[in-house]
A and B are shown apart, each in its own frame.
Chain A
Amino acid sequence: MELSTHDDQEMRIISVQNSRIDAAVAIEFKEAMRGQIADAPPHIVLDLTAVNFLDSSGLGAIVATMKMLGGKSKLTLAGLTPTVSKVFRLTRMDTVFDLYETVDLARLDLAS
């Protein structure tokens, strides 16, 4: 699982480089995220632009990441592709996370 991370003022942007977050990599994803969220600023934006497939295991791993943060940082998701967006919508997880179409839109909103 490849993640690229950079801090932008009060925001940490973590971009997933893999095209799938599925059962084959869900545990690996969770562990990789654990390594990226230490000493995180108040906002974490998970950039899913490159991810074209996410199953319920992948969704569970993202929920687990949010729980690992324990409310210390807020996890926001950006760049959801159609199938990924569908999973969040159907499971009503779109009511739990703030979702942005792009990282830039998330950045604009969180900076204001």
Chain B
Amino acid sequence: MMQSDTYLPPVRVSVTSGLHAPRHALSALLDRLGPLQLDIEEAGTLELILAEALNNICEHAYSGQENSGPIDIACVHGPNGLQFQIEDEGAPMPGGRTPLGVSADVDVELADMPEGGFGWFLIKDLAKDVQYQRSGTRNQLRLRVAIGLQAAA
């Protein structure tokens, strides 16, 4: 059992972008966050937010196999949950900001049913304080996941 006033030490995970990078990063992160004893719901939410953020980096910031590079994830546990900073050296977000992340319209004919465009909606719906900035040659995405709060109780 964790002390009521202690937080997990900062966790850092780095992977090289690619088809399997999100899986590797998530597996390493969840492993390191093991002491928080997240329940299925919390772990699922966390995994979904990070999977979408990492997929976006692999598919857009580093588009294509030849154009790959580092993805560095830092996680700090505090009174408001888990604060993440995810950095990459890929292309900047178009327009210098994250997509709005509006929910895709599913009230349409079968042929028009959306097969994508859900990622940013899920991130913005599930994560808090989502902030993006370009710093030199790096993209920095910050977001907070309000889980692991019991340690601060």
From known contacts A22-B22, A60-B115, infer whether A86 and B51 are also in contact, taking CB-CB under 8 Å: no
Interface flags, A1-40, vs B, CB<8A=1, else 0:
0000000000000000000101110000000000000000
- How many A-B pairs with Cβ below 8 Å? 83
Interface flags, A43-84, vs B, CB<8A=1, else 0:
000000000010111011101101100110000000000110
Chain B interfacial positions (CB closer than 8 Å to A): 19-20, 22-23, 40-41, 44-45, 47-48, 51-52, 55, 58-59, 103-104, 106-107, 110-111, 113-116, 118-119, 121-122, 125-126
Chain A interfacial positions (CB closer than 8 Å to B): 20, 22-24, 53, 55-57, 59-61, 63-64, 66-67, 70-71, 82-83, 86-87, 90-93, 95-96
- Residues on B with C-beta less than 8 A from A67 are 110-111, 113, 115
From known contacts A53-B44, A60-B118, A82-B40, infer whether A92 and B103 are also in contact, taking CB-CB under 8 Å: yes
Docked-complex contact B47 and A93, CB < 8 angstroms:
no
Docked-complex contact B23 and A56, CB < 8 angstroms:
no
The smallest C-beta distance from B130 to any residue of chain A, in angstroms, reads 15
- Residues on B with C-beta less than 8 A from A53 are 44, 47-48, 51
**Beta-carbon nearest neighbor of B43 in chain A:** A83
Give me 18 other A-B pairs in contact (C-beta within 8 A), A24-B20, A91-B106 excluded: A23-B19, A23-B22, A23-B59, A53-B47, A55-B52, A56-B55, A57-B55, A60-B114, A63-B115, A64-B115, A66-B110, A87-B48, A87-B118, A91-B104, A91-B122, A92-B103, A93-B106, A96-B106
Tell me the bound Cα distance from A95 to B106 in angstroms: 8
Instruction: Report whether over half of chain B's contact residues are helix, strand or loop; otherwise say mixed.
Output: helix
From known contacts A91-B103, A92-B106, infer whether A56 and B118 are also in contact, taking CB-CB under 8 Å: yes
From known contacts A67-B111, A91-B121, infer whether A83 and B40 are also in contact, taking CB-CB under 8 Å: yes
Tell me the bound Cα distance from A55 to B119 in angstroms: 8
Tell me the bound Cα distance from A93 to B107 in angstroms: 9
- Residues on B with C-beta less than 8 A from A20 are 23
Docked-complex contact B22 and A86, CB < 8 angstroms:
no
Tell me the bound Cα distance from A26 to B5 in angstroms: 42
Docked-complex contact A63 and B55, CB < 8 angstroms:
no
Docked-complex contact B116 and A90, CB < 8 angstroms:
no
The smallest C-beta distance from B22 to any residue of chain A, in angstroms, reads 6
